Amino acid sequence: MPPEQAAWWTRAVVYQVYPRSFQDSDGDGIGDLGGILRRLDHLVDLGVDVVWLSPVYPSPQADNGYDISDYEDIDPLFGSLAQLDELIAALHERGVKLVMDLVVNHTSDRHPWFLESRSSPDSPKRDWYWWRPPRPGLEPGRPGAEPTNWHSFFSGPTWELDEASGEYYLHLFAREQPDLNWENPEVRRAVYAMMRRWLDRGVDGFRMDVINMISKDVGADGSLPDGPPLPGLPYGDGTPSFLCGPRIHEFLQEMHHEVFDGRRESLLLVGEMPGVTVEQARLFTDPARAEVDMVFQFEHVGLDFDGSKWRPRPLRMRDLKASFGRWQAGLADVGWNSLYWDNHDQPRAVSRFGDDSPRFRRDSATCLATLLHLHRGTPYVYQGEELGMANAPFTGIDDFRDVESRGHFAQAVAHGEDPDDVLAAMRRMSRDNARTPVQWDASPSAGFTTGTPWIAVNPDHAEWNAEAQRGDPASVLAHHRRLIALRHDDPVVALGDFSMLLPEHDELYAFTRSLDGATLLVVCNVGGAAQPIGELLPQAVGAELVLGNLPGDGDPALLRPWEARVLRLP
């Protein structure tokens, strides 16, 4: 396809704001819309095209806003609708789009829909959620009496008993997050109407939370099956019954038709899809099918643990290459990739895949960024990633805030695991690593708040902060600026064909991107030892350097530790 005909988001870079941790403006220790408005210069300076804003709707905050009790308003914790309008206008004035989080697999248990559904088995909204009696012959409330054996993503069973009716409701995530029943057409109509109202307000698209879980594989008689047992737990794996379920494509096409028809071109639609395969992603992102523009897949963030994220192990580079390589090839002719290391659910990439020791932190952060941004797809930068922010030095359980981490700790310790081992895994993998406040400057609360931050600021902010990096051309921040500008300027970066080189090599990550006779060669040393490349990649030696992450020219035939080079081949 000629570059001028490609969708705008092929050239775009998205920046994710997790509002609670971005910038506080009223001193309550929690970030807010006023804070984002104050930091627009940072985003403009970076050059991003889109801001994706994690949920700011009214919410009891059981899962930091992913439990929504009103889809139509803004939580006073974060500000007001007037401020959101101000933010939309301010971003648009600067040529930046705003994408909102759409969380419609579940609501909060305080949403009026659920309160009404819960009020009585005869409620007209009873069927808006998944209500089921206990397992036949078992007392309601007894462990094992749950309608299915499914394990919740946040520990414990996916079913919560409602004492009043003696029935259980389904929640794939926390018990405060009951799943909506998408089989019911009234639910779907209500969601679509809500989405249209946000688009009419000026938002430019949606990041759709766990959207591949909305279709459950329910029998004609309403039955849901047990899943295969999970090792060491009294639960089973329910995912076969709700990941990419039987009606998922139908629902997304219906949504497209009902909400996006006629205005799709200017929007960004990205579906978050744990467990999605390349083959399924091709279907979801085929423009002809009109479902979503791209998906967030999870394969590459599942390579450094055994089955459960709480059993981490080192990443093997060849596994990462095999995975990224397959996704690049699988969506080469149809569909599109999204590219990310970090988001609010993942530990910090520099600590996880790079080396956050003082010696290599800057170099590995910029190397990983180069590697990611030079793939074919739309890159997502998560707040603080552009500063090289690292995992937090959590000590005890009281340092953690996240419902997932805390639930896991309680469950694992109750099942006899050693608390120190559990904490060690949490230090590596907890979502709270991503949620410490953005490090703006070296002052005591990192410029994030004048009050007490809701989660501790990482003490390394004294050295690692935006102010220190702003004027420094060698900073992680400056490197991100250059990567984003390169995608804007060079159609080869946006659209060029991808071809993986040296797939078996564990220290070198190399590939080419080619378009209309122009070729970029990307070579990255993903480790702490220098790597000779003269024999493996002779074409790299003497080629023009478009962008590199280390100062000086170095030896053209030797990559320094964590060095990344983008070269133009003659």
Q: What residues make contact with ligand TEU under the rule CB under 6 A?
A: 63, 66, 103, 153, 173, 209-210, 272, 274, 309, 344-345, 404
Q: Of 169 and 511, which has the nearer Cβ to ligand TEU?
A: 169
Quote the CA–CA distance of 150 and 233 in Å, as a whole number: 11
DSSP per-residue codes, 302-363: GSSBSSSTTSB-PPPHHHHHHHHHHHHHHTSSSS-BEE-S--TTS--HHHHTS--STTTHHH
Beta-strand (E) ranges in 79-139? 97-102, 131-132
Shortest distance (Å) from residue 153 CB to ligand TEU: 4
3-state secondary structure of 474: coil
Q: Of 405 and 445, which has the nearer Cβ to ligand TEU?
A: 405
Shortest distance (Å) from residue 308 CB to ligand TEU: 9
Instruction: Output the CA angle 328-333-337, nearest 5 degrees.
Output: 40
Confirm if 515 and 498 have CB atoms less than 8 A apart. Answer: no
Shortest distance (Å) from residue 315 CB to ligand TEU: 17
Catalytic residue among 209, 299, 402, 490: 209
Residue showing the smallest CB distance to ligand TEU in the complex: 66
Q: Of 386 and 432, which has the nearer Cβ to ligand TEU?
A: 432
Quote the CA–CA distance of 277 and 45 in Å, as a whole number: 36
**160 part of the active site:** no
Shortest distance (Å) from residue 55 CB to ligand TEU: 9
Distance of CA 222 to the CA centre of its chain: 33
**385 part of the active site:** no
Shortest distance (Å) from residue 343 CB to ligand TEU: 7
Quote the CA–CA distance of 177 and 109 in Å, as a whole number: 6
Q: What are phi and psi of 565, to 5 degrees?
A: -130, 135
What sign does the dihedral 313-314-320-321 (CA atoms) show? negative
CA distances from 459 to 244, 345, 465 (A): 42, 21, 11
Q: Of 154 and 324, which has the nearer Cβ to ligand TEU?
A: 154
Catalytic residue among 75, 179, 204, 272: 272
Shortest distance (Å) from residue 3 CB to ligand TEU: 32
CA nearest to 307, candidates 396, 216, 231: 231
Helices 278-285 and 248-255: crossing angle, nearest 10°?
A: 30
Shortest distance (Å) from residue 274 CB to ligand TEU: 4
CA nearest to 292, candidates 223, 358, 328, 244: 244
Q: Of 172 and 523, which has the nearer Cβ to ligand TEU?
A: 172
167-170 and 159-162 beta bridge pairing: antiparallel
Q: Of 344 and 362, which has the nearer Cβ to ligand TEU?
A: 344
Quote the CA–CA distance of 396 and 133 in Å, as a whole number: 39
Which tokens is 245 given?
A: 């379920």
Q: Of 309 and 375, which has the nearer Cβ to ligand TEU?
A: 309
Active-site residues, by number, are 209, 272
